[in-house]
Amino acid sequence: MPEHVHRTLKARAAASGLSLSEYLRGVLGRTASRPTPAELSARIDARGTAELGEPSEVAVRAVRDSGE
The answer to whether 20 and 7 are in contact (CB under 8 A) is: no
Cα distances (Å, whole numbers) of residue 46 to 52, 64, 66 = 18, 33, 35
What is the model's pTM? 0.61
Q: pLDDT, tens digit, for every residue of 2-37?
A: 999 999 999 999 999 999 999 999 999 999 999 999
Q: 6 — phi, psi (to 5°)?
A: -60, -45
Q: Is the pLDDT of residue 68 over 80?
A: no
